[in-house]
Structure 1
């Protein structure tokens, strides 16, 4: 409210949960909503080793798990069909990655932009599911969705996404 840009960290499971946690800590919802630009949540997932990464055609159950994690309706909009052309990546394990199949980390991100509707919900002390629904409808990509996309690109795998981004 003083014109200063503030960056801070707070341990929560998502960007939306950060908003409700700050309100629970006693922040005034009107001042907070007025000053808020956005909230960025981040998790680090292990990266599939580039030296031993291989493509594979997963079982339908693994495809279905990706779709479920992403949100089946939203995943359908991506237009990614389960067919002979669908593949994912995994690390076989090599000397470079000490036989783990992973080397390094990749960030999974979720950016909640403080739009007029999000600010209105904050002022009304809306619940996490209510704010999340509006944020996703306004185009926010969740941590899990970002992780699924990075799994499809071969940066990480769904096992890692589940480990770091799902409760």
Structure 2
């Protein structure tokens, strides 16, 4: 019944937005990239991210406002078939990723790369993606 009526499932979280008044750039070390999985998202490139120093405008937190991150699971025919066969959570995640699903952590990394939030905030709020295959898109 669920497979025939559900088109997609959306999950969302709010992250703190880096304060625009005290935002500063920094370069992420290779060790940090590898530790948090950014090396899977961005190939051997220098990564510049942002963090807030803290100012009167953000009450010395480095953050002001919120930005949303999402994970959208579109139930493709292949995914529906796998669900009906009860293949298990890991296999379903693998198929979803191969069909183009971006995880919440990947969306958070994208927001951090855009300078909207900090890497620390993404790590604090999202679960690790474990060793799931990277989607082809």
TM normalised by structure 2 equals 0.85
Residue 103 (structure 2) pairs with residue 138 (structure 1): no
Structure 2, unaligned runs of 5 or more: 129-137
What is the aligned counterpart of 2:66 among 105, 108, 116? Answer: 105
Distance 2:82 2:7 in 1: 14
Distance 1:149 1:80, change over 3 A: farther
Offset, 1:71: 7.1
Please point out which of 16, 19, 27 is paired with 1:49: 19
Counterpart Cα distance in 1 of 2:79 and 2:39 = 21
2:45 equivalent among 81, 86, 103: 81
Q: Residue 163 and residue 108 in structure 1: after superposition, are their counterparts in 2 closer, same or farther (change >3 A)?
A: same
Cα offset for 1:65? 3.1
Partners of 1:109 and 1:65 in 2: how far apart?
22
Task: Count the aligned residue pairs.
Answer: 128
Match of 1:62 among 32, 49, 54: 32
So what's the TM-score if we normalise by structure 1?
Answer: 0.71
Note the C-alpha offset of 1:164.
1.3
Match of 1:119 among 80, 83, 97: 80
Query: SS at 1:88's partner residue?
Result: strand
Summarize the Cα distance change of 1:116–1:71 in structure 2 as closer, same or farther, 3 Å threshold. farther
The runs of at least 4 aligned residues of structure 1 exceeding 3 Å deviation read none
Larger Rg: 1
| Aligned counterpart, 1:19 | none
* Secondary structure in 1 matching 2:120: helix
Deviation digits for residues 98-139 of structure 1, max 9, x if unmatched? Answer: 000011111110000011011111211222111110111111
Alignment-derived partner of residue 10 in structure 1: none
Deviations 1:16-49 (A, max 9, x none): xxxxxxxxxxxxxxx1101110000101111111
